[in-house]
Amino acid sequence: MTSDAQASHRAFLDRYYRLTHRVYDVSRKYYLFGRDGVLDRLLASEWTTLVEVGPGTGRNLARLHRRRPDATFGGLEASEIMRAHATRRCGWARISPGFAEDTDIKAILGTPPERILMSYALSMFTDKGRAIDNARRHLAPGGELWVVDFADFSVFPPMRRFLSAFHVQAIPDELLRRHGAGHVEHGPLRYYVVARFPA
What are the phi and psi torsion angles at 7 (to 5°)? -60, -40
Q: List pLDDT tens digits, range 117-162.
A: 999 999 989 899 999 999 999 999 999 999 999 997 655 666 666 5
Burial class (CB in 10 A: 0-12, 13-18, 19+), 189: exposed
Rounded to two decimals, the pTM is 0.85
Is residue 126 helix, strand or coil? coil
pLDDT tens digits, 12-56 = 555 655 555 454 444 454 357 899 999 999 999 999 999 999 999
The number of beta carbons lying within 10 Å of the beta carbon of residue 116 is 29
User: In the prediction, which pLDDT does 1 show?
Assistant: 54
Tell me if 139 sits within 8 A of 112, measured CB to CB.
Answer: yes
Q: Where are the domains of the chain?
A: 4-198
Crossing angle for the helix pair 80-89 and 4-20, to the nearest 10 degrees: 50
Q: What is the DSSP letter of 105?
A: T
Class of domain 4-198: alpha beta
- Sheet of 94-97, strand order: 94-97, 72-77, 49-53, 115-119, 144-150, 192-198, 183-186
pLDDT at 53: 98
- The CA distance from 9 to 180, in Å, is 26
Going by DSSP bridges, is the β-strand pair 192-198/183-186 parallel, antiparallel, or unpaired?
A: antiparallel
